[in-house]
Amino acid sequence: MKIACGVDIGARSIEVVLSDGAQVLEWGVADTGSRPTEAAEDLFARVLSQAEVRRADISCVTATGYGRNYFKQADKAVSEILCHARGVWFLFPRARSIIDIGGQDSKLIELDGNGRTVDFAMNDRCAAGTGRFIELTGQIVGIPVDRMGEAVEGRDESVEISSMCAVFAESEIVGLLQSGSPIPAILNGVFRAVARRTVTMSGRARLHSDVVFTGGVALNRGVVKAMEDEIGLPVLVPPEPQITGALGAALTGFAAG
């Protein structure tokens, strides 16, 4: 059995996926931390151990993400745009648009009918519209990121977050708390601001069905709903939305022969 591996080294998290080309055999996620190369090596070793696979058994290791050029175990490095498109297309063959929101950046990728990238837009210079913005909000209101979706379940009230800058938005959120605005309303406001920012930065890349939402932020049901409301289209979320880039990286190993 041929096995390929994808390693996605991002600013906030690292994902490793083993695939035989037809399915995901094993996967893992870890925080990037202050030593991304070491963290990637540790996660790589752990995933191989869990799958009872040796490095010699892997035909191709493909690295992607910000740290792709520093992973010494890799046979090649590939752009994260290509890898996200490949991973999403494998899971959703009818996908035409990808919204990926991670800890430090957000991407919008437009695909053609064959899964090829037509255009893309990327925000990697501003925290607004990223997981970091949502994480900062959680620290201010005292709700962990993994409980935010639950906190707004069945709550439709929302306040307007007018600032598109994370620094100014933080002051705005503090002011809303002090004025007595309910926390669910503030969270919904932040989720809608993230959705609005993502759509605004799309530029030439267009959103049309099927739309697939990936990245760690896609685990937040509140953001998923806000995104659907903003774009006016249903949004599909993979079972493990964080690993699509690493999955796509692994799949490029099969294309390499």
Which residue matches tokens 């995104």? 227
Q: Could you read off the pLDDT tens digit of each residue along the chain, which spans 257 residues? A: 799 999 999 988 999 999 999 999 999 999 999 999 999 999 999 999 999 999 999 999 999 999 999 999 999 999 999 999 999 999 999 999 999 998 888 899 999 999 999 999 888 667 777 888 888 899 999 998 889 989 998 888 999 988 767 778 888 999 999 999 999 999 999 999 899 888 887 665 678 889 999 999 999 999 999 999 999 999 999 999 999 999 999 999 997 54
Q: How many residues does the chain have?
A: 257
Structure tokens at 202: 């799309």
Q: Are residues 185 and 250 in the same domain?
A: no
Which CATH number is 11's domain given?
3.30.420.40
CA dist 3 to 55, 66, 93, 94, Å?
10, 24, 22, 26
Q: Are residues 192 and 88 in the same domain?
A: no
pTM given for the model? 0.92
Q: Are residues 158 and 73 in the same domain?
A: no
Predicted confidence at residue 163, as pLDDT, reads 76
Q: Are residues 104 and 77 in the same domain?
A: no
Q: Are residues 160 and 219 in the same domain?
A: yes
DSSP one-letter code for 124: -
Predicted confidence at residue 201, as pLDDT, reads 74
Q: Are residues 65 and 130 in the same domain?
A: no
Q: Are residues 106 and 61 in the same domain?
A: no
Task: Please say whether the beta carbons of 128 and 162 come within 8 A.
Answer: no
CA dist 27 and 24 (Å) reads: 7
Domain count, the chain: 2
**Residues of the domain holding 210:** 94-237
Predicted confidence at residue 25, as pLDDT, reads 97
Q: Are residues 115 and 221 in the same domain?
A: yes
Q: Are residues 4 and 65 in the same domain?
A: yes
Q: Are residues 82 and 146 in the same domain?
A: no
Q: Are residues 105 and 188 in the same domain?
A: yes
